Amino acid sequence: MARADRFIGKRVVVLGGNSGIGLACAQGFAEEGAGVRLTGRDPQTIASAVASIPGAKGNAVDISDLAAMDAFYETVAAEEGGIDVLMVNAGMGGFSLIEDMTSEYWDQVHSINLRGCVFAMQKAVRLMGEGGAIVVTGSIGGHAFVPGNAAYGAAKAGLALAMRQFAGEYVARGIRVNMVSPGPIETPLLYRNPGMDEAAVEAMREQMIAAVPMKRMGAAKEVADAVLFLASNEASFVTAANLMVDGGALEIG
C-alpha cells in the first residue's frame, strides 16, 4: 500500500486533469498531501474536478495554444512560486485509416498530443528545481500496430522519444522525467473519438478487451498509482523509464 504522505508540501500541476486518468492522478496527489493545480479545455469539467479535490485550483487552457500556456505558467509562477511535479496528460483520441486521413486531422492530433506536450514540458522545467519530477502519459498505441492509429500512434511514439530527450538533458539538474503508457483504460476519452458512433466505440472496446491477456479494461486509478510512484521519491533512481500499464497487452498479447 502506498504511503499517504509522499507529496506533502509539493506543488503539483496536472495538465489534462479534469477527467479520466488525469483526474485520478490529481485526486491521488491531493490525497497524499500535494497542492494541486489542474488544467483542461472544458470549464464545466474543470469546475467539477476542482470541487472533488480539497484545495485544488483549476485553469481552462488548451495545451496546443502556446501563448495561452505561457500565460498559464506565469500564473503558476506568481501564485505557487514554482512546480515540484508536472503530470502531462492532456491529449485527444481518434482513429483514421491512412487512406481516409487528412492533413488537418494529422495536425490536430499532433498539435495536442506531441507539439503541445513537448512545449508544455519545456516551459515547465524553467519553474522546477532539483528533485523535480515530470511524468508523461504515453500509450501502447505508440509501440504497436493498431488499424486507424497512424496519427495518434506516431504522436505518442514521438512523445516517448521526447521524454527520453528531456530525461537526458535535465538529469544534471536533478529533474527526473518518465512516462506511463496505458493500454485500454475505461475513461471518457474512449467515447470521444471523432467519427465513431456509440456502436463503433463499443465494438472497439470489445476488441480491446479481447487483446488484453487480463481480459478486462484497466481503471484510471491503476494508471494513477503508477504515475504517483514515478513522481515520488520511491522512484528517485528512475528516469527515462516508460512503464506499461496495459494488462500485459504489449508484451504478452
Q: For position 22, which CATH number holds? A: 3.40.50.720
CB under 8 Å to 192, separation ≥6 — which residues?
92, 93
- Per-residue burial over 227-243, b = 16 or more CB atoms within 10 Å of its CB, e = otherwise: bbbbbbeebeeebbbbb
Q: What is the DSSP letter of 142?
A: G
Give the H or E element holding residue 107.
helix 103-110
Task: Provide the CB-side half-sphere exposure for 241 (13 A, CA).
Answer: 17
Task: Please list the active-site residues.
Answer: 152
Does residue 230 lie in a domain region?
A: yes
The tens digit of pLDDT for each residue in 134-160 reads 999 999 999 999 889 999 999 999 999
Total-model pTM: 0.94
Q: Which range is least confidently modeled, 56-65, 103-112, 150-159, 182-191? A: 182-191
Does some domain include residue 198?
Answer: yes
Domain that holds residue 207: 11-243
Count how many domains the chain has: 1
Q: What is the pLDDT of residues 1-16, one digit of tens each?
A: 456 799 999 999 999 9
